[in-house]
């Protein structure tokens, strides 16, 4: 069955079991779409009410996601019209992506040969990812390591 909303370049979907807050999933999907070129500056993001109707989520969640995108400078709201993309992220072209993917698969093979199982690989990767981004200055305000299934954190409890 086709649900055709029209009017917007992308459609959102939700992964309810990922542990990632809903609004963040929406933000990530927009960023992902920007990287892959599905969204260009000037494109309109899906209308709040359409997202709400198709995903059955709270409109405030969508508003929060769009506000976050505005905060990051990726989108801007036009009163009465909607929210529009106004910047891009570093676009990774598809051949680049394919190359990176091949390298990744090579690394994964090595890790498996070294004796790590899936969870072990995930734990290793996640901690490495976090350390990598922590050591870099915050460039585009992108949130470090909030995604992914592992929730280990050693920041303050406050």
Q: How many residues bind other proteins (CB under 8 A)?
A: 30
Reported as half-sphere exposure (CB side, CA atoms, 13 A), residue 5 has a value of 17
Closest CA to 112 of 122, 100, 101, 98: 122
Q: Confirm or reject binding of residue 14 to other proteins (CB under 8 A).
A: yes
Which of residues 8, 10, 11, 48 is near other proteins by CB under 8 A? 48
Tell me the closest approach of the beta carbon of residue 92 to other proteins, in angstroms: 24
Closest CA to 7 of 40, 35, 65, 46: 46
Strands 75-78 and 82-85: antiparallel
11 touches 50 (CB < 8 A): no
Tell me the closest approach of the beta carbon of residue 79 to other proteins, in angstroms: 14
Q: Give the binding range for other proteins (CB under 8 A) out of 35-43, 45-53, 84-92, 93-101.
A: 45-53
Residues 82-141 that bind other proteins (CB under 8 A): none
Residue 1 or 98: the one with the smaller Cβ distance to other proteins is 1
User: How many other C-beta atoms can be found within 10 angstroms of the C-beta atom of residue 79?
Assistant: 5
Binding residues vs other proteins (CB under 8 A): 3, 14, 16, 19, 22, 48-49, 52-62, 68, 143-144, 146, 151-158
């Amino acid at each position: 069955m086709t649900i055709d909303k029209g009017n917007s370049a992308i459609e959102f979907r939700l992964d309810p079991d990922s542990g990632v807050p809903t609004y963040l999933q929406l933000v990530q999907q927009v960023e992902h779409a920007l990287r892959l070129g599905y969204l260009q500056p000037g494109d309109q993001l899906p209308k709040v009410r359409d997202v709400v109707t198709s995903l059955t989520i709270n409109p405030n969640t969508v508003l929060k996601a769009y506000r976050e995108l505005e905060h990051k400078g990726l989108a801007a709201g036009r009163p009465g019209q909607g929210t529009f993309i106004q910047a891009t992220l570093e676009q990774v072209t598809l051949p680049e992506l394919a190359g990176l993917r091949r390298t990744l698969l090579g690394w994964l093979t090595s890790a498996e040969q070294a004796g790590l199982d899936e969870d072990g690989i995930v734990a290793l990767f996640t901690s490495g990812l976090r350390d990598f981004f922590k050591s870099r200055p915050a460039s585009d305000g992108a949130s470090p390591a909030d995604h992914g299934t592992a929730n280990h954190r050693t920041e303050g409890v406050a």
